[in-house]
Structure 1
Amino acid sequence: MSGLIALLDDVAAIAKVAAASVDDVIGQAAKAGTKAAGAVIDDAAVTPKYVHGFEASRELPVIWRITKGSLRNKLVFLLPAGLLLSNFAPWAIPPLLMLGGAYLCFEGAEKVAHVLGMSHGHEDHPGKEVTIDDPAHLEEMKAQGAIKTDFILSAEIMTIALAAIPTSNFWMEAATLATVAVMITVAVYGSVALIVKMDDMGLALADKGRLGLTRAVGRAVVRGMPGFLKLLTVVGTAAMLWVGGSIIVHGLEQMGFATLGHLIHDWAYAIGHAVPPAIEGATEWFAKAAMDGVFGLVLGLLLIPVGEKVVTPIWRGIFHRGK
């Protein structure tokens, strides 16, 4: 009997350790995921365009296909690459993180420049005007295009998450990154599915609602969706510039160029202490985020010629060769 009691004690102790490990993984994953906010929001803002033009019955299947491709990108390709970097070349993570931050700044600044008429953005994409009559072929082409775009955004998300994970053992890092991958993918494409079908839900409420209030809500949803999508794009752009700028500033500090980081910190501190104590912390945070975002915008605007004249032609030459 005493042996059985001892065995049960051991099992209980193991269960407690396992539960604590699960809590640690989820907690670290949640913290790491928030660091990737800019890329996550951009992912949610970009994806709906890939199902534009499909019949309503095909929208969710296409989103599901892109979701599976996103999980494959993160778990099959990027997770092993991230773990190899973390364990065998940790020195490469900060430069890669800064490269991802620069890309976020470029993407955000390009959206701003396009709105202001200063950049053509991606409108001159080769084959953008090509009309495809076969719905199955069009679905295949758009899904593959979305998965390729997702790979870039997923690489940023996984790199940012990897840098945010506290130093731990191999399996803890693997479990945390895998959890980040699944959580973010479900959040992004679950949101995309909801956004894409919101019009249909609104129309159904407006047409078939039994109560006047229900029909009014349905009409409001239909009228409000274009504005919501524009707002999502604005928020996504601001988040990209903020996250990208903060990554670059932090990377410069790690490389010994801390002047800009100290200036932003000191100015944000001064602004935060110029308001009532009740909103001091929030004001300081917003001030720092705004300054990081302005820096990200300036850097992104400087990178636009490099992106359009050098990077984009190389990218299109690789992925659109022979098309």
Structure 2
Amino acid sequence: MELSGEFPIKLLCEIMQINRSSFYLWKSKLSNPSRRTKDFINNSALFAEYHIKYPSHGYRWLNAKICLDTGLILSDPYAHKCCKATGIKSTAKHYKYKKPGNPLRTFPNLLLSEMNISGPMQCIVSDMTAFTVHGIYYELTLYMDLWNNEIISHALSSKRGDKMTYINGLTDLIALKNKMNACETILHSDQGSVYSSKKFNDLLPAYGIVHSMSRAGTPTDNAAMEAINGWIKAELFEDLHVTGENNIEKEISDYISFFNEQRPAYSLKYLTPRQYKEYYFQTINVS
């Protein structure tokens, strides 16, 4: 366009080996973009806006989150096109596969039996993840329902190796289990010292909880929980910008609420854990 004011359009088109009509058509589209082009520009800007909020996620998750928040339904290929046009890429780290280790002699790995999980509280997975905020070390123990990926209990401590995060989280889990009148529950964990301790395991049989354990050095045996641990730290610091300037316990609780109620999950066909549970109970009531 800048050269067209200095050189004849015909000469420029000959050099670029295009028809003059193509130039004027392009110029017309530039001045008066089609509705489709305008929509693409607006949608790309929307993806860029959400990427700023949630940089750890890729185009599929962003597309699901936009649909959840705004009701705008776009295909995944179109979402990928929008993200590619704006240079959007997930900032999350990718983890390498590790070779399975030896099984534990005390508690078998029941997840390897290909169990059929058809409802809430049938199988709970647990793990601890650690992070640092303003130089203060924290340990966060999570208990997650494998049926709908809902974090049903958690406990936080700034004390390294604090066993009470596991016990407190388990106590809240037991209270919820009793409230729901759930039958037998499988609790799957790694071979950590607290999970293997007598104090922890003495609580389980009285409440209809059967312990299952991953093989030694095999985080893939608890893949869902390991994946959540990775996403949690990415989202806490890259998306939600947890700084520790406010009460860290409240910030973690707010994140758990976001995770359960506002965060679409790929394994749930991009429903939130809460939505998935609500649809389940609606179906049960109807039938």
- Higher RCO by CA contacts (8 Å cutoff, separation 6 or greater): 1
TM-score by length of 2: 0.29
| Greater strand proportion | 2
Structure with higher Rg: it is 2
TM-score normalised to structure 1 length? 0.27
More helix by share: 1
